[in-house]
Chain A
């Protein structure tokens, strides 16, 4: 990345705008398509998906339930009901395969809000602000689970902005827009990626599922990396890249194993050298190129 250039500018030059925004476009399509599926019923009377993100019934047959809110009902001391149990199991299994935080980057509607804030931050070069610990979200997760268990009430759902957006769009928002706007301002002015990357307990929950999930991003061609830092600049969870991209000397494989990675694919988009690919956690063997990369370093 040249000084003052937007991350990904080089990739746009070398690959063209479309393929330098491929995964971003796929993600927006996915996010909007899911909203559309929920909205055809209330708006046009074509019922494809009933309910909302917390629990839904697709084509009157497929139950899907948010596993986190389901877990909270169990913690408040309620016994599971078949539909909810099956729905939560299906969702868990799905994210177990495709990557826990795929929810965050491909499904969650708040992602569009926080991405917009991040984009503006880059555009207007807003720097600094408060720093939160990225561990705060796990504390939040622990807190909301403890609150459910001790008060017997699903307290998090009183304010959860993630479920609020869908419920609002489908059933009526009230002053819910205020919460969404607050998150936008938080991400824009208070701290970079404050909500999704630091505070959101829903994302924390999915990152725990993602610790073992199958589909992962891999810096498969990391020896090609020219240290332009575009991937670091665009990544919402920068800390996950380094071990995979720069871990060759420390005997670390090229696959991003951290559950915090959202599999958003933006690193694939912005890399002019096509270092990153979608892969699985099983392709994390140290390639023979490790020796080569060491050699290259010695040579240079």
Chain B
């Protein structure tokens, strides 16, 4: 591995002070499952690595039926995957977390790391956005909250400034008659990046769609909400024709590229198929 200096700040203030001091030449280490690979492969060449694992409180995971879910930056994909609260109320997120790498990777990889890496194909991002995630961003003398759907600006690029650290993720409590689904499509079942990922978060009132979020992964420079498809479904009874129409609209909203994992045309078609499937599965889970 390329040489770097290593720091273990004991507080958030210390961590952001280090980031400011080494402006642009430092990287934050949490799980390390992306960062260390990128250092080994010389994609990133930080002179300073700042391990935030010694900062107290960042590994908390709390759930409250009114306040919802709140977890710190050090909570791993495996903890989210196996948390009974997450599996019950945020099942799309639990499913997505279980599809990241292997158990060995998920025991280290953090959800916030998946967020900050900002890969267009990251599994946990579509369900987090569908469930209305908000991240807390900490910097010297300041703290701000950003809706996750406004966090990403391009592949690997976010609104995060070099001296800022994401400290927590909150998800609002789910309302009754809700369900969330994530469907990943890849070339193989495990150890795979998504060719297409579709998250649907749905609240029904009888047969009527009270609230729906459709979020697409790996088919645009960032995860995107299919807002036209959502608008089509919202407020109406979700019958087969409407589901098909919404899926078609989601397909038209996707902007995939062709790469080694699939052509743009194939990805678009899979957006249609998986969006319809995810809406149906969400419907079944509510009922």
A and B: partners? no
